[in-house]
Amino acid sequence: MTLEELYASIGGDYEQALRVLRVEKLVDKHIRKLTKNGVVDNLLAAGDTMDPTQLFETAHAVKGVCANLGLTGIADAASCIAEEYRPGNARTMSDDEVKAKLQDIATMYETTKAGIEQYAAG
């Protein structure tokens, strides 16, 4: 499986990742690190406690990492959560809606993780 095929299989935007990181070698390096760096796991764990500060900080981190990697589905969902908990913003979603968004992220992440593992296995 090529890197482009990986992106196609996980619904990522390979061209966006290449625009941001500029070199395919860097895209390869950082997509492989995603499953090991814990950034998405930290967001999902923050959802267990529903701590507003943790949700904002971890969602903001996921948004940045995933946007840079062209993982737009996860980045967009994380952005919604980050804006929901951004200090000074009024809440617009119920806790159940936030939990549903976190479940969407978990589902997308599992698909992404499985694709990365398959890609890394060669």
d(CA 55, CA 42): 9
Strands (E), the chain: none
What is the predicted pLDDT for the residue at 122? 86
Record the pTM: 0.94
Per-residue pLDDT tens digits for 12-55 = 999 999 999 999 999 999 999 999 999 999 999 999 999 999 99
Q: Give domain limits for the chain.
A: 3-121
Give 3-121's CATH code, choosing from 2.60.120.10, 1.10.340.30, 1.20.120.160, 2.40.50.220. 1.20.120.160
Place of tokens 């840079």: 68
Helix (H, G, I), strand (E, B) or coil at 77: helix
What is the predicted pLDDT for the residue at 97? 97
Identity at 74, one-letter amino acid code? I
